[in-house]
Chains A and B, each alone.
Chain A
Amino acid sequence: MTDTPIQQMIQSEIDENPVVLFMKGNPMFPQCGFSAAVSQALTTMQVKFKGVDVLENMELREGIKEFSSWPTIPQLYVKGEFVGGCDIVREMYESGELQTLFNEKGIDFAN
Chain B
Amino acid sequence: MAMEAAEIERLIKKGIPDAKVTIEDLRGDGDHYAAYVTSDLFSGKSRVQQHQMVYKALEGSMDGPLHALALQTSVPEK
Instruction: Report the count of interface residues on A (CB-CB < 8 A).
Output: 15
Inter-subunit contact A85/B51 (CB<8 Å)? yes
- What's the interface size class on B, roughly? 10 to 19
Of A65, A69, A71, A88, which one neighbours B47 at CB under 8 angstroms?
A88
- Give the docked Cα–Cα distance between A84 and B46 (Å): 10
Inter-subunit contact A91/B55 (CB<8 Å)? no
Q: Cβ of B72: which chain A residues have Cβ within 8 Å of it?
A: 87, 91
Q: Cβ of A88: which chain B residues have Cβ within 8 Å of it?
A: 47-48, 51
- Give the docked Cα–Cα distance between A85 and B48 (Å): 8
Inter-subunit contact B52/A69 (CB<8 Å)? yes
Q: Does B71 contact A (CB under 8 A)?
A: yes
Q: Cβ of A92: which chain B residues have Cβ within 8 Å of it?
A: 47
Q: Mark A83-111, 1 if CB is under 8 A from B, else 0.
A: 11111100110000000000000000000
A residues bordering B, Cβ < 8 Å? 34, 65, 69-72, 82-88, 91-92
